[in-house]
Amino acid sequence: MRTNGTVEESKVPLLEFSSPAVGSKDQEGDQDQSLSRRVCIESRKLWHIVGPAIFSRVSTYSMFVITQAFAGHLGDLELAAISIATNVIVGFDFGLLLGMASALETLCGQAFGAKKYCMLGVYMQRSWIVLFMCCVLLLPLYLFASPFLKLLGQPSNVAELSGVVSMCMIPLHFSFAFQFPLQRFLQSQLKTGAIAWVSLLALLVHVFVSWLLVYRLQLGVVGTALTLNFSWWVLVFGLFGYTVWGGCPLTWTGFSIEAFSDLWEFVKLSASSGVMLCLENWYYRILILMTGNLKNAEIAVDALSICMTINGWEMMIPFAFFAGAGVRVANELGAGNGKGAKFATVVSVMTSIVIGVFFWLLIMILHNELAFIFSTSKPVLDAVNKLSVLLAFTILLNSVQPVLSGVAVGSGWQSFVAYINLGCYYLIGVPLGFIMGWVFNQGVMGIWAGMIFGGTAVQTLILVIVTIRCDWEKEAEKARMRLNKWGDMNE
């Protein structure tokens, strides 16, 4: 229970202080120093998570970038096939499983903040079971990728080759069921350094295997697809080895039969998390699919895929802040500190915005050189150059939205935010993109502009309003009730 003094203190607004007496400049200076010190302390806590998270996420995403770059130098058709397979088939699957695993960010983060360490390992094992069953249900997406892509209007030659590539990525598909929960399990207890080192090892393996299969063994586009299987399973075994061989003595106590109990409750929480994040993740996949139905689709898909790859590469930084904000908010709410959760939110959002502005400027300055790493085709290079302004503003806007989504995950708002995402993305963004692209004949630029400034901007604005109006002490009380409910299952 809190003391009365603590309760009274919680009523003080986050960034407001008692007004000093007139002329009391020393007191005002002390208050400013206090705020500065609080920002520094919170920033250190945040970057302890975000720093290694940026490295690990950039490393894992770079595996996809390297694969796409190898395919791009094989030819335009091979680049289009790898782009469609990774951005649509794997992306569809990736978004759902990543979202479902994010239930652990709420549960493990709040349990760690409340010092209920034994619950974390059981939660992770439940997540393995749920995600593996989901992988089995999603397997037809890989087995029948070609007819699925043709049904969505993709060119026949691109759809056929994408289907072959997708079949080669089935082991990658099953790795997600284990890697995502492991990463969130370790992240929630601030063991981000281990994730970073394992990610570096996997990236080195990926570069070597890519060289071996594509250049040495001349396996072509199939070889580029197979490389991802090796690197992602290195991630799984590396993180699992760290966990079971002494890296987590408090939170990993071995396999438990408790993991099979109350799975339905866990499925419901995972499903709401999955819907929330996959609606965001699928949004940009739909952009690529819509572009595939334009005239001269191969060049349009190549150019947009390159832009989406660059955007996705930079998005690993906001996604790291997504993780950092989620963990910090969950830890503070689990500890019963609503005021601390609010302050962590403010620091996370402001830091991410500063970084977003830097990359916005970088894209605006280097717009002519963006695509050389992926292609030497002049039509593709020209198309990417035309899209660079939209890419810059997409990066700027996305410096805010993922952080607020991380706050939502840390607070357990997944179901509520899923409705916001559904309305903004699919009732506003997609129709507006269609109108701009086809009705007003603006092509890929119209589709992209409509979806970004229609869907993403509106969704970000709503999340800002919701976060500002949040009663953080009430959220801390909800976290306590959630921990009691889930804790009773294991105690």
Residue 20 placed within a domain: no
Whole-model pTM: value is: 0.75
Tokens for 258, please give them: 């408790």
Q: Which domain holds residue 363?
A: 38-487
Confidence of residue 26 (pLDDT cuts 50, 70, 90): very low
Residue 202 placed within a domain: yes
Tokens for 393, please give them: 């503003």
Tokens for 97, please give them: 């499983």
3-state percent helix, strand, coil for the chain, nearest multiple of 5: 85, 0, 15
Confidence of residue 179 (pLDDT cuts 50, 70, 90): very high
Other Cβ atoms less than 10 A from the Cβ of 440: the count is: 10
- The residue with greater pLDDT, 203 or 279, is 203
pLDDT tens digits, 401-460: 888 888 888 888 877 888 888 888 889 988 998 898 888 888 888 888 888 888 889 988
Residue 288 placed within a domain: yes
Going by C-alpha positions, the residue among 482, 342, 483, 333 that lies closest to residue 411 is 333
Q: Into how many domains does the chain fold? A: 1
Going by C-alpha positions, the residue among 459, 137, 416 that lies closest to residue 272 is 416
Residue 7 placed within a domain: no
Q: Please calculate the CA angle 479-419-316 and round it to the nearest 5 degrees.
A: 75
pLDDT tens digits, 277-321: 777 777 776 776 677 666 666 677 778 778 887 887 788 888 888
The predicted model gives 161-174 an average pLDDT of 89
Q: Please calculate the CA angle 362-367-373 and round it to the nearest 5 degrees.
A: 95
**pLDDT at position 31 over 70:** no
User: Please, what is the end-to-end C-alpha distance for the chain in angstroms?
Assistant: 21
DSSP 260: G
- Give the position of tokens 């609010």: 342
Residue 426 placed within a domain: yes
Going by C-alpha positions, the residue among 335, 336, 318 that lies closest to residue 407 is 318
Residue 4 placed within a domain: no
HSE at residue 330, side-chain half, CA atoms within 13 A, is 33
What pLDDT does residue 239 have? 94
pLDDT tens digits, 87-127: 778 877 887 888 788 888 888 888 888 888 888 888 899 88
Residue 336 placed within a domain: yes
Cα–Cα distances in Å, from 327 out to 69, 278, 436? 33, 20, 39
Residue 101 placed within a domain: yes
